[in-house]
A and B are shown apart, each in its own frame.
Chain A
């Protein structure tokens, strides 16, 4: 086993490349703007990243199976409205949270049933529910917003614990659980198997449909958790919660090296991709002091990362 073979067989090339990019970005940013690298300013600016990060944990395994979930952001909208509605009706925070989680579960399960039982393409199903969930949220709430949930609730996402914002702990727990599930359990291997070749996975006795159902349901559940963080942070529940998040999430997952055709990717890559996009956006908007440049840079980053990968690695699965 020569060194060259070992290098070639190293699985984490993509993750390593992104980490390298991230480090060089931070180095350049630190050189140009020393205040950028200060821990407190970074933590202050990381507040709005957690919802997208939590959604990305559900999206990664789905994209690894070759599917997609466009409805994640809309699910958040519906969850937020149900949360606000049930909380104001009952006056109990517990019931509000339960309603939020139950809504997330139901939204994810509906996607899952349509995709696994009716065998409809995930893109179509989640396009329908993307419009549908947001529409129901807007219809029920009629554009109204619910707010003032009390200091104890709004403090949940705003507060921090040993210097780290509280949602970060929720995210870390979920991320560790997800990494173990994907990398260390048979279920995780089955997810990759489905993405590589669904037919072969089915013939090898993997319960493809059941697994897919649970993946979409988990994505709905994670969306409801993200909603709780979002609602607590703004102290307002409105139908437009999480609007456009699905695109941010998919961008992060794809930049993180997960193949949109399935079969390849990891949660570590997704987290690194998320960080890379986040830091790039921050740096661009603070250095040039324009917000418009951010989306241009992120779009180019998305296309560029896949283009470079495709050109360098002659992948047959195109």
Chain B
């Protein structure tokens, strides 16, 4: 009896439980207002919207677990989208996708690695490096695009991104693959354990012989790679590439990571929570549309956004969890 109550309490206190409950309750409420919400199309649409965010969130989560932060992903996505467009569009480079897409992925990884290098060997705090890149990459994007949108992407690519394989756009499959790989990385490899070790106590990890520098370099490069991947699968869905791509993506991703229960002081958090966080945050807009408040509802999206972060934070406090407290130096 006592044991079962304890295990019940343990489940109750998990972040994932609260998130699933919240998602279920919201879906039920919306479904009673309009039963169309439970249809297949709506959920496929939600999944498609989730795809790029969840791909990037897999990387940013690992960065946050090591105790750093990356707020440059939105601008990086715009930068990579512009370069990809200039390379493979009919009206510009007209390069074949076989060259253009791997080059984009490589470039994303390189930018991520440079970020990591500045954070580790340059010893610049990650929030400053990525804040600088947030500004600089956005500037480079507008400079490259010269105020014009890029169109004329190859048809095979846009078709794959829109309709894809087996009834789902390719982004959803890629996202699923990335989630599986990241989960295996976290729970099945020494690398994943080391990332958590460095995050929870850099000092002890150092004494245990782990190189925080190399691990951090890896997570930043991984994030860069995933951002490029999200760009490649998601951007061709749109009719043309404009320089507003990925605006505020960084804030959305960090929000999902935090709502998913990852501690910003590092060392704590799991992928399931983060993915549920992505789902919850992506649901806001369709839900507000379905509640039939129309334009009025859309304008409250951001307020609901903030409310959810608050809820996550306050629930941490109420459950007496060791919350996202400041670490005592």
Partners in one complex: yes
A128's partner among B129, B143, B313, B317 (CB-CB below 8 A) is B313
Question: A133 CA to B310 CA in the complex, in Å?
Answer: 12
A142→B299 contact, CB < 8 A: yes
Separation of A129 and B305 alpha carbons in the complex (Å): 9
Does A31 reach chain B (CB closer than 8 Å)? no
Is B303 touching A121 in the complex (CB atoms < 8 A)? no
State which size class the interface on B falls in: 35 or more
Once A292-B142, A299-B136, A310-B122 are accepted as A-B contacts, the answer to whether A251 and B131 lie under 8 Å apart by CB is yes
Q: CB distance A121 to B123 under 8 Å?
A: no
Task: List the A side residues contacting B282 at CB < 8 Å.
Answer: none
In the complex, the answer to whether B313 meets A130 with C-beta atoms within 8 Å is no
* Stretch with Cβ within 8 A of B (4 or more), from A43-51, A54-62, A301-309: A301-309
B295 in the interface (beta carbon within 8 A): yes
B296-329 contacts to A, CB under 8 A, are: 296, 299-307, 309-310, 313-314, 316-317, 323-326, 328-329
| Complex Cα spacing A68 to B314, Å | 19
The 0/1 profile, CB within 8 Å of B marked 1, for residues 183-206 of chain A is: 000000000000001110000000
A157 beta carbon closer than 8 Å to chain B: no
Q: Which residue of A lies closest to B263 (CB)?
A: A121
Decide yes or no whether B227 CB sits under 8 A from chain A: no
A220–chain B nearest beta-carbon distance, Å: 15
Interface contact A307-B118, CB-CB below 8 Å: yes
A264 at the interface (CB under 8 A from B): no
User: Which residues of B (123-155) have their CB < 8 Å from a CB of A?
Assistant: 123-125, 127-129, 131-140, 142-143
Q: Which residue of A is nearest B133, CB measured?
A: A299
A120: contacting residue among B135, B143, B317, CB under 8 A: B317
CA A132 to CA B317, docked complex, whole Å? 19
The distance in angstroms between the C-alpha atoms of A240 and B306, with both chains bound, is 16
Does B254 interact with chain A (Cβ within 8 Å)?
A: yes
- A260 with B139: in contact, given A131-B309, A310-B122 (CB under 8 Å)? no
Q: Are A250 and B304 in contact (CB under 8 A)?
A: no
Indicate which residue in A132, A199, A298, A302 contacts B303 across the interface (CB closer than 8 Å): A132
- Main DSSP-derived SS at the A contact region: helix
Q: With an 8 A cutoff between CB atoms, is B38 at the interface?
A: no
Whether a CB of chain B sits under 8 angstroms from the CB of A39 is no
Q: State the Cβ distance, A191 to closest chain B Cβ, in Å.
A: 16
* Cα separation A184 to B321 with both chains bound (whole Å): 40
When distances are taken between beta carbons in the complex, the residues of chain A under 8 Å from B309 are: 124, 127-128, 131-132
Instruction: Check A89 for interface membership: any CB of B closer than 8 A.
Output: no
A247 to B258, CA, bound (A): 20
B300 near A296: Cβ-Cβ < 8 Å: no
**List of A residues within 8 angstroms of B326 by Cβ:** 66, 119, 121-122, 198
- 8 smallest beta-carbon distances between A and B, as pairs: A132-B306, A299-B136, A135-B303, A135-B302, A295-B139, A128-B309, A299-B135, A303-B132
Partner-B contacts on A (CB < 8 A) = 66, 68, 114, 118-125, 127-136, 138-139, 142-143, 197-199, 247, 250-251, 254, 260-261, 290, 292-296, 298-300, 302-303, 306-307, 310-311, 318
Residues of B in contact with A (beta carbons under 8 Å apart): 69, 118, 122-125, 127-129, 131-140, 142-143, 251, 254-255, 258, 264-265, 295-296, 299-307, 309-310, 313-314, 316-317, 323-326, 328-329
